[in-house]
Amino acid sequence: MLPAHFAALTTGGSQQRMRHFISQLLVMAELQLQHEVEPQLLNVDSLDEDREYSDASESIKKKRRKRKKKKTIAPGTNEAEGEGEAGGVGDVTKQLELQTLEDKEREEDGEEDGGEGENSTGKKKKKKKSKGCKGQTDPPSVPICELYPNGDFPKGEECEYPPSKDGRSAAWRATNEEKRALDRANEEMWSDFRQAAEAHRQVRSYVRSWIKTGMTMIDICEKLEDCSRKLIKENGLKAGLAFPTGCSINHCAAHYTPNAGDPTVLHYDDVCKIDFGTHINGRIIDCAFTVTFNPKYDRLLEAVRDATDTGIRVTQLFLLWMMILLVELYTKINQILNHHTIQCLEGEVYAIETFGSTGRGAVHDDMECSHYMKNFSVGHVPIRLPRAKHLLNVINENFGTLAFCRRWLDRLGESKYLMALKNLCDLGIIDPYPPLCDIKGSYTAQYEHTILLRPNCKEVVSRGDDY
C-alpha cells in the first residue's frame, strides 16, 4: 500500500514530481542504512585495537622474561606506533600507555642487568653510576679518602709560571710532553698533597662556622684538631696532624698554642692567627688565615692576604726575595713583619707565608713554650735519664720528626714529663720553638698557602673559596 502523500502525487498526474520524490526517498534510505552499519564498523575497529593493545602488552612481558634469562638487553619496539590513526583519542591514549610501559620495563631491565637500555628512538640510555658516598656530614666526620674513594682528589689553583729573566713566557711548559710526563710520574705525591689540602679546606670552613668570642683557646684548638683527625683519618705516622694548631693572638705572631690550664679567652678586639697543618705520608699542607671580629682590622688583613697572593704569583724557579713594604692601618704606616728567602726548584713544595704588623715589624722569643720538634739531623746522643729515654721513645713513635706540643703529650697519657723534655732539649735532641712576638700593644696578621712547583705549572694546592 502506497503512502498517502505518494498516492496524492500519483493522482495528480505529475510524472516530474514523481521522479523527484522517488530520488529523495532513495537518499533517505541510504542515509538510514549508513546509520545502522557504522556503529558495527566502529565496534570492529575498537575490538581490533583492544587485541593490538593486549598483544603488545603480552609481547613486552615475554621480552622482559627473555631478557632476564639471557641477562642482556635487546632493543625494544613500539608495536602500537603508527597504527590506528583513525581511532581518535582512545588510540592516542593507548599508545601513550604502551610507551610508558615499555620505557618502565627497559629502565628496570637496565638496572637489573647492569648494562645500557634503549628508548623509543633507539638511542642508548646510560645507566647512572652510583656514588660511593652521599657527601660530608654536618659537623664534618667522613674522611676525605671515603668522600673520594677513587683517589681523584680536588686540585688546587693551577697557574702558569711567570716569565723568565729574559722575558720569555713559560706557557710552553703546559704543553711540553716531557714536562707533562714528569708531572704524571709524580702523580702519587701530588695526590697525597691534594687529599691533605681538601681536609684542610673542610676543617677551616667548619671552624669559621662556630669560632666566636668568649671561647677559650684550648677549646678552639681541641675542637679543630678533633675534626682534622677525623677528616684526615689519622693513622700513626702515615696520616694525621702535621704540627700543633697555632692560635697566636694580637702582638704574638706565631708558634703559640695553649698548654694545659691556659685560661686565655678570645675577645672581640683580638686578631687571631689560625695556623694548622695536615699530612698524608709526611706530605704536609701548611696553611693559615686570620680571624677578627672588629672591622677596624679589615685593611690589615686585606694587605697581608694580597701580599701572600703576590708572593705566590711571582714565585719562579730561581732565588726569590719576597718583600712587601708597607701596610696602612687607620692613619698610620706600618712595615711588614717578615720577609722570606726562598730558593725554588722544580718538583719541590713550598709554603708562602706573609705576616703583617702594626708594630716594629721584628719578632723575638717570648711567653711560655708550647711547640717542640725532634732535630732530624742530630746523631746518636747518649741519654742518662730513664724518664728522658721513655719520653723520646714516645716522641719517635707518635711524631717522628713532625712538630708536637705539650697538649699532645697530655693526650697520650704522659705526665710529669717537663724535666725529661728539658733534658732532651738541653742535649739538642729536641728543639723548642717558643712563641714569636712583636712589641706589646701591636697587632699581627698572617696568611699562608702551600704551592706545588710541578714541572708544567704551579699549583696552589691549599687554595679554597675562602682565600
The DSSP H or E segment spanning 44 is helix 15-70
- The answer to whether the beta carbons of residues 203 and 245 sit under 8 Å apart is no
User: Any binding-site annotation on 108?
Assistant: no
Comparing C-alpha atoms, which of 397, 384, 394 is closest to residue 423?
A: 384
**Grid cell of 204 as nine digits:** 677551616
Distance from C-alpha of 465 to C-alpha of 463, rounded to nearest angstrom? 7
Is beta strand 271-280 parallel, antiparallel or unpaired with respect to 239-249? Answer: antiparallel
Look at residue 45 and give its three-state secondary structure: helix
Distance from C-alpha of 451 to C-alpha of 87, rounded to nearest angstrom? 71
User: Any binding-site annotation on 279?
Assistant: no
Distance from C-alpha of 297 to C-alpha of 303, rounded to nearest angstrom? 10
User: Any binding-site annotation on 448?
Assistant: yes
- Spell out the residues 6+ positions from residue 352 whose beta carbon is closer than 8 angstroms to its own: 308, 311, 312, 315, 322, 340, 342, 448, 449, 450, 451
User: Any binding-site annotation on 58?
Assistant: no
Dihedral of the CA atoms 268, 199, 455, 465 (nearest 10)?
-50
Rg (CA), the chain: 41
* SS (HEC) of 278-346: EEECCEEEEEEEEEECCHHHHHHHHHHHHHHHHHHHHCCCCEEEECCCEEEECCEEEEECCCEEEECCC
User: Any binding-site annotation on 50?
Assistant: no
Residue type, 263: P
Point out the annotated binding site.
Answer: 255, 275, 286, 353, 448
Point out the annotated binding site for a divalent metal cation.
Answer: 275, 286, 353, 448
Point out the annotated binding site for substrate.
Answer: 255
